[in-house]
Every structure is written in C-alpha cells, then in structure tokens.
Amino acid sequence: MVKGMLMDMTAGLHKAAETMVRDEPAQIHLVDDDPGIRNAVGRLLRSHGYDVLVHPDAESFLEAHDPQSHGCIILDVSMPGLDGPALQRKLVQDGESLPVIFLTGSADVPMCAEAMRHGAVDFLTKPVDEIELVRAITLALEHDRMRRLARSHRDMTESRLASLTPREREVLQHVMNGRLNKQIASDLGTAEKTVKVHRARAMEKMHVRSVAELVRMVERALPAAGCIG
C-alpha cells in the first residue's frame, strides 16, 4: 500500500511538472536592426497566433530577456554592436537560453556550422520562407519545452536532496555506489538497523522505490555531479 501511494505521488509530481511546462505561454523574440524585417516577420508570425516581441538590437533584447521564459529567439546575423553570433555565444556562456533561429541575408557555411555547434535550431536566409520559418519555430518551441522540463526535473531533484539530513545524504551516496546495508554500517561505524532507517527515510523523501530509480533521477537532473554528497 505504501509503495502504491509513493508511486502515485511520484507520478503526480512528474505530471505536475509537465503540466506547468506545457501551460506556460510562449514568446517569440524577433531581434533585427531592419525595421522592415521586424514589421513584416512580426506581422507574419502574429497571423499564425504567436506572441511576438521585437527588438532592434541585441542590447535591447538583453535588457528584456528572462532566461526562465518560454519561447525562442529569431536572430539576425549582422547587426550593429553585438551581432547575432556574438549574442548567441553570450547567452550560451551565461547558461540556459532560449533556442535560436538565425536569419541571414547570405548563406555563410562556416558561420552556419558554428551557430549549429552552439545549439542553433536553424539557419534561414532572407527573404525567409513562411513555411520554413513556422517549421523552425515549431521545432524550437519543442526544444524549449524539453529544456524547461529538464530544468523542472532538476529543480525538483535538488529540492528533494535539500530535504535530506547530512547522514541521509551520506547513506544514499553509499547506496548509489552499490554498497550493501551491512557494508555501509561498517563504513560509517554504526548499526545496520540505523542504516536501514536512514535509507528508508531518504528513499521516501526522494520519492523513489529502488536504487535504479534513484540513480536515474540524480544522473538525469545532475549529470555533471554524478553524486549527491
């Protein structure tokens, strides 16, 4: 019965995270120094029902940019001041950013390759084809949904880890390393019964039913860390 309740709770939390991600409104940021492009592309996208925010340059975009927001960036390659590729690099260096679709007046294979290496969704030439642009936006919004879902899972995992006592974290790290209760008790200089209690409480706080599920949760949310200690 307890396992069933725990399973329902875990499923409910994941569903809540996915619902929250899905329900956030998307905004399309159009960054281009050409007012004609801003007007034409902005009008086109609004006709498809998108919420469009226009920016005449990279600097004005940065002033309004919220890394936690949902959407994507349609970014001109050549602009005065900070150009498109430089803005993309800055966003990547600063951490998570919205997916980027580049617009350019001429195809530049090396520049395109560099932009794609930095995570650009597409590289479209002007005048941009309506179908191609909408397709790229659809793909970018899906990338963004997955990015936000991963962030939601990470935040959830970090919140659960923060609820553990230092001893519970220590025991769970040993568990993730494949140690048995008896071995953990020996390592920590405590009774096996005590280890079992800490382990049970920690697993309950993490909302997992097995070591495999715990490892998957931590590795998916905190891949760089590889540990919970």
Closest by CA to 98, choosing from 120, 128, 80, is 120
Of 31-35, 110-114, 134-138, 173-177, minimum mean pLDDT range: 110-114
What's the mean pLDDT in 60-81? 92
Task: Classify burial at 145, counting beta carbons within 10 Å of its beta carbon; exposed 0-12, middle 13-18, buried 19 or more.
Answer: middle
Q: Global pTM?
A: 0.74
Phi, psi of 228 (to 5 degrees): -120, 0
Domains of the chain are 2-17+155-221 (1.10.10.10), 24-153 (3.40.50.2300)
Phi, psi of 24 (to 5 degrees): -70, 135
> What is the percent of the chain with per-residue pLDDT over 70, rounded to a whole number?
85
37 neighbors 127 (Cβ within 8 angstroms): no
Distance, CA of 136 to CA of 74 (rounded, Å): 10
- Output the average pLDDT for the chain: 86
pLDDT tens digits, one per residue of 133-176? 999 999 999 999 998 898 888 899 999 999 999 999 999 999 99
The residue type found at 57 is D
- For residue 112, give the H/E element and its range: helix 109-117
